[in-house]
Chains A and B, each alone.
Chain A
Amino acid sequence: MRDKKAGIWPYLLVAPALLVVAAVVFVPVGNAVLMSFQSYDLRRPFAIGFIGAGNYSAVFKDTLFWQSVLRTVIWVVFGVGFQFVFGFCLALLLNRDFKGRGAARSVSLIPWVTPGVLIGLMWRWIYDGSYGVLNDILMKIGIIENPVPFLARQDTVFPAVIVTIIWQGIPFFALMLLAGLQGVPAELYEAADIDGANVFGKFFHITVPSLQNTIYVTTLLRIIWVANSVDVIYNMTGGGPAYASQTLSVYVFNKANALNLGYASAMSILLTLMLLLAAVPYLKTLFKIREG
């Protein structure tokens, strides 16, 4: 029961924390919403003013926007999908006893703890069409005859950046799923052994159901992070060539860099809405599972 004597004190005490949250979260978000309804282009500061849904209307007519949306879907589906598959495999591997497991666990974290900017630069050189190590290896083992300019060709650039984001995200899935795996009671596997279950049976009927919550939460987090990810693509290609690797978040970044903040804000609000649309059913399913 609430202490009536406490009066205004609890509010006063949480006020500073609320102020901080409001200042760093709600004010910028509110500002972005406001800017999305304005002609807010810093190159023309004297023309800044409300234009209603003008930015949204222009965005919907923008071919590059729709191309970026499609590319974002591919980026998230393949990026997060393969991160999950490989991350799960790595987690299962690291959950087994073998010599040097501690070292292997530490080393496997390297891609996750490396800054995105550095990853972008590193992979740019790996893929380099003139001096890149990938071309060198592929030529030495006879897969290709001439170097492939992976980041300069429109048919190879997007798969190339997707491979990079997969490489970066595998350890996150591995780490989270490994933590989940360690919480699965060994008795369940012992009972399954007695019942004569094979490896696949144990995996699909014990491991996966036990990790369901972890899988849902981790995947949701990665979907949001990967959809909003700018650093890797921007540092590898800037969204090019010919916009062939431009996802929606990179397009927003490029427009904001060009100082058209109203247009960039409208696109970022739309990106947020799309992520919400994807997240809500996901969370509903998660809650149903928990309640069940």
Chain B
Amino acid sequence: MKIVKKFLALILMFALCMTIASGCRKKDDESSYDTATGEPIEITHWYWADTQQYSAKMQDIVKEFNQTNGKNIKVTAEEYPWDGGGYSETLFTAAMGGGGPDTASWKLTSTPLFVANNLLAVLDSYINGWKDKDDIDENLYQVMRDAGGSDNIYVMPWNTQVLYVYYRPSMFKDAGVSVPKTYQEFLEACRKLTRDTNGDGKVDVYGFGMRGAKGGQEPWGSFIYARGGDFSDFTTDKAVAGMQDFINLFKNGYVPPTAPTDGFNEIIANFKSGKTAMTIHHIGSSVGMVETLGDDVDAFPFPSGESQWTSMGDTENVIFEACDNKDAAFEWVAYLATGKGQEEWCKATGNVPVSKRVQAMPEFQNNKFMKVSIEGAPSAGIFPILDTTTEWINTIWPNTVAAALAGQKTAAAAMQDLQRGLYGG
């Protein structure tokens, strides 16, 4: 009887050990396929979408790619929220933990971190042997190289978004304001458009929808450059003057009092509901704006002051080093860059295509928001891509600017903090 008990106990212990071991086992054969057997080559792709329509469009693109690629490649697209940049952190955590996707939608600012941890595949050999290589401007490849901090390309271009100012023509007309041509006219427009429209003694329309939460550094950058400052040194008098303008808009009540915590959703909702007369975002919002406001929405590039700068929102795709089928993965990201995927995505979202063939299509040539994007492109740029940039964008910039808006820090002190946060010292 004792022997039976011991035997049963041994079996139980063995089963427990096997259970633990199975949880720790690496699924090393999971994404390795032999196409000769007819098994599909599976690619997992991560992306974010700003609206439900864009989400559905991505799934349509994936479906069409799976049906038409002719190489038995099956992409599964998994959506994750952008979360003001939190997407990149989620992606990094997953990739470091060995649970990342094969390919993913991308922002250039994340490149140094992922490259430093050897997570991204080098794409030069794929791009050099690609028939559509010249359909994308060489300058864009150079931007991709610069982002990685080496001569290699880790990032495949997909689309760009140039920030510009959305405005409500009806409100401009009511307030007797013309489309600003200079930075001073823009500041003046913010003042004039802030109004009590129903005579109850309270402001109900604010001139400008300021973004003070994560992501707000992009429109903020335009103010710094308009005063002649730049991102190489935030502490110059000119850069501080730009910050002071930004603070004054809040202090004078030309932006909603919620501005310090307003993010993408809030500035768009405020603009659509008529609470703000102007706000800054890119062409990705244009479809939703037109759906809500019809003809009562238009756009102009952020006006020039002593200098001019607007943020070039970029969206790319990457292939991870851990991907077992990089050839198939490249087929997919190439389809998004110059193929039907590029055409469909840019038509649906209004983003600026990177493919010259798609740019030349009438749908893009006749779009007023696309025209403004193209008009702003010469002054478009990106933030310095350093290993501190992500923390600076997610934590340092919003908290420092909130303190400055609340009057706890002077413009100069805030700019010193921003300088330390990005460049150290």
Contacts and interface: CB of A to CB of B under 8 A. Distances in A.
B9 A241 contact: no
A147, A152, A259: most-surrounded residue (chain B CB, <10 A) = A152
A43 B387 CA distance: 6
A257 B89 contact: yes
A20 B20 contact: yes
Nearest to B409: A242
B406 A13 contact: no
Nearest to A129: B258
Nearest to A258: B391
Contact of B395 (A12, A42, A145, A254): A254
A142 interface: no
A15 B116 contact: no
A130 B261 contact: no
Main secondary structure of the interface of B (DSSP, over half): helix
Nearest to B24: A23
Interface string B384-419: 000110110011001110110110100000000000
A43 B388 contact: yes
B84 to A, nearest CB: 9
Interface string A232-259: 0000011111111000000000100111
B195 interface: no
B257 A258 contact: no
A96 interface: no
A242 B398 CA distance: 7
A241 B116 contact: no
B150 to A, nearest CB: 14
Contacts of B6: 9
Nearest to B389: A43
A141 B52 CA distance: 37
Interface in A1-24: 9, 12-13, 15-17, 19-20, 23
Contacts of A13: 9, 12-13
Given A130-B270, A130-B275, A149-B261, A12 B256 contact: no
Contact of B16 (A16, A129, A130, A153): A16
Contact of A130 (B117, B212, B260, B269): B269
Contacts of B13: 12-13, 15-16
A154 B406 contact: yes
B212 A241 contact: yes
A98 to B, nearest CB: 42
Contact of A128 (B16, B86, B213, B258): B258
A128 B16 CA distance: 51
Interface in A119-174: 128-131, 145-147, 149, 151-154
Interface in B46-63: none
B96 interface: yes
B390 A258 contact: yes
B27 interface: no
B260 A241 contact: yes
A42 B96 contact: yes
Contacts of B403: 241-243
A130 B113 contact: no
A262 to B, nearest CB: 14
A44 interface: yes
Contacts of B155: none
B406 A242 contact: yes
Given A42-B113, A242-B408, A130 B266 contact: yes
A145 B201 CA distance: 11
Contacts of A16: 13, 16-17, 20
Given A13-B13, A45-B116, A146-B202, A237 B261 contact: yes
A45 B95 CA distance: 15
Contact of B402 (A46, A240, A257): A240
B259 interface: yes
Given A258-B391, A258-B394, A42 B256 contact: no
Interface of B: 6, 9, 12-13, 16-17, 20, 86, 89, 92, 96, 112-113, 116-117, 202, 212-214, 256-262, 266, 269-270, 275, 387-388, 390-391, 394-395, 398-400, 402-403, 405-406, 408
14 contacts: A9-B9, A13-B9, A42-B113, A43-B387, A130-B258, A130-B270, A130-B275, A152-B212, A152-B259, A152-B262, A240-B399, A242-B403, A258-B391, A259-B390
Given A149-B256, A242-B399, 10 more contacts: A13-B9, A16-B13, A23-B20, A43-B387, A46-B116, A130-B256, A238-B398, A242-B403, A243-B403, A244-B402
Q: Which 4 A-B pairs have the closest CB atoms?
A: A241-B402, A242-B403, A258-B391, A16-B16
